[in-house]
Amino acid sequence: MPVTEIKKDIYWVGVVDWNIHDFHGYSKAPQGTTYNAYLVIDDKVTLFDSVPAKFQMDLYHQIRSIIELEKIDYIVCNHIEPDHSGAMPFLMEKIQPEKVFCSKMGHRMLLDHFHQPDWPYHPVQTGDSISLGKRTVQFMETRMLHWPDSMFSYIPEDKLLISNDAFGQNIASSERFDDEIDLAMLMAEASHYYYNIVLPFSPRVIAVLDEVAKLGLEIDMIAPDHGIIWRSNVPLILEAYRDYAEQKPNKKAVIVYDTMWHSTEKMAKAIAEGLMEEGVAVRIMHLKQYHHSDVMGALADATGIICGSPTHNNGIMPLMADFLTYMKGLKPLGRVGAAFASFGWSGESLSVVTEWLKSAKIEVVEPGVKCKNVPDHAKLAECKELGRQVGKAIVAKVDAEAAAE
């Protein structure tokens, strides 16, 4: 990819990973992604972040199109995760920089990852700054957004925030900026990224946004380490991140299920009818058709999560166990849920799903519904009534939130 000048003498020198689908081992990335690195040409030439080791030669050629690597003075590591630091051993050998700036936790993690105690580490913390010549870099630690080492780099002269994983998306594109692609698609990908990576750290997101506001940082461009750079919609993505983090209730529910012989599927549809009768929008998702990260993406603006599974080997279907484990780790807040199940002879799945939902801090509407073999009209009526009860709980939560405001 050709390099892109994003500000005067500041260049995107990253790489595009067109074909990745398994992002960080747990999130589906059907549109690929980018690994963004940024080069600032000043009295002290500075490289911000790098790329996975397998793309180090791509990064090398990107930088060489602007400047010899030996002329780089500083490297800033905002985040030590291998997709942003994997090329560091190669870069250190080629560049031999004067200084490597990172957070204090980043220093420890660079040592843990690369076992190079002689690199010229210069740990920084919130409030520290360095001069590049005409420009200043101000550092802001953002611990657990989403790793302990994470930090922002802010260049006030250019009103530029280099934000590592925050505000990113998984989009492989020849375009670099938010005003060059469809905004609705971009916001959907930003939400999907948040709800599959950043969600567990939502309290930290609010704290960081509050700190940015308190410091009065003027930002007219946000350059994340994945995806598209924000230059025309900075207020929109800042507001969206606060909305994502606050997880305010909406009149929407996701029904997620697995099924063997379609009994659980029939139950899901009946539950959906009951929800809709209470004015709740519904999304039905079969786990053999949807990746668990897609379900979390749908849950972004949903208050209800209703899960169904047949009994399988005295437990639940493997894909449902996978989803429940995944969802619990992401710690969604303020959700209402319920369980439903079908079975042939033992029937444990209803209680298993119910306990999983409770362990994930979901407010469970009980009792759920279970059906032996194939649901008849009476059993489907029970399912529909469960949908109504969950719908009423969702509407009550939304109305209470509105009244509190």
273 is catalytic: no
Q: What is the largest CA-CA distance in the chain?
A: 77
- In which order are the strands placed within the sheet that holds 221-223? 129-131, 136-141, 151-155, 160-162, 221-223
60 is catalytic: no
Q: Are 300 and 330 in contact (CB under 8 A)?
A: no
165 is catalytic: yes
Question: Which candidate in 84, 107, 146, 291 is catalytic?
Answer: 146
Residue 157 is classified by DSSP as: G
Strands, E, within 313-355: which ranges? 315-316, 336-343
Measured distance CA(65)–CA(269) in Å, rounded: 57
Question: Which candidate in 121, 193, 195, 241 is catalytic?
Answer: 193
Q: Are 273 and 385 in contact (CB under 8 A)?
A: no
Measured on CA atoms in the order 234, 18, 149, 71, is the torsion positive or negative? negative
Three-state secondary structure string covering 5-54: EEECCEEECCEEECCCCEECCCEECCCCEEECCEEECCCCCEEECCCCHH
Measured distance CA(394)–CA(304) in Å, rounded: 7
Question: Which candidate in 21, 24, 113, 286 is catalytic?
Answer: 24
Residue 159 is classified by DSSP as: T
Question: Which candidate in 17, 49, 58, 83 is catalytic?
Answer: 83
Q: Are 78 and 72 in contact (CB under 8 A)?
A: no
Give the three-state DSSP class for 238: helix
Question: Which candidate in 17, 81, 225, 294 is catalytic?
Answer: 81
Contacts of residue 164, defined as CB under 8 A and 6 or more positions apart, other chains included, come to 49, 78, 79, 84, 142, 150, 151, 152, 224, 225
113 is catalytic: no
Question: Which candidate in 79, 84, 291, 292 is catalytic?
Answer: 79
Residues carrying an active site annotation: 24, 79, 81, 83, 146, 165, 193, 226
